[in-house]
Structure 1
């Protein structure tokens, strides 16, 4: 099965750590990162799509993708 996640967070080191953790769990970057201004917080937000192929399991909408 192929999985997709879209990671988001503030434009700071915590976002980089979130993406790094996903990469170290076997996820791969998919496309370019995105940036947007959050008018409520006054901060820039980052986003990055990641994908992962998992063999021997079937997709279930209730699964926690970050635990795969």
Structure 2
């Protein structure tokens, strides 16, 4: 089964660390990163989709971050 996650964070090194951690756990980049202005918080936000092939069947209770 293929899993999908969308990682997002303020445009700081925390975002890069979040993506790097996912890559170190076997996730792969999917598509291009995004960036947008969050007017309510007054910050830039980044996003990146990642995918991973795993054994088993999908369940909405699946903890994607633990994969």
Q: TM-score, normalization: structure 2?
A: 0.97
Q: TM-score, normalization: structure 1?
A: 0.95
4+ runs deviating over 4 angstroms: none
Residue 19 (structure 1) aligns with: 19
Q: How does 1:1-68 map to 2 (within 5 A)?
A: 1-55=1-55, 57-68=56-67
5+ residue gaps, structure 2, are none
Shift of 1:66: 0.9
CA–CA distance in structure 2, aligned partners of residues 66 and 51 of structure 1: 12
Instruction: Let me know the Cα RMSD of the aligned residues.
Output: 0.6
5+ residue gaps, structure 1, are none
CA–CA distance in structure 1, aligned partners of residues 37 and 15 of structure 2: 15
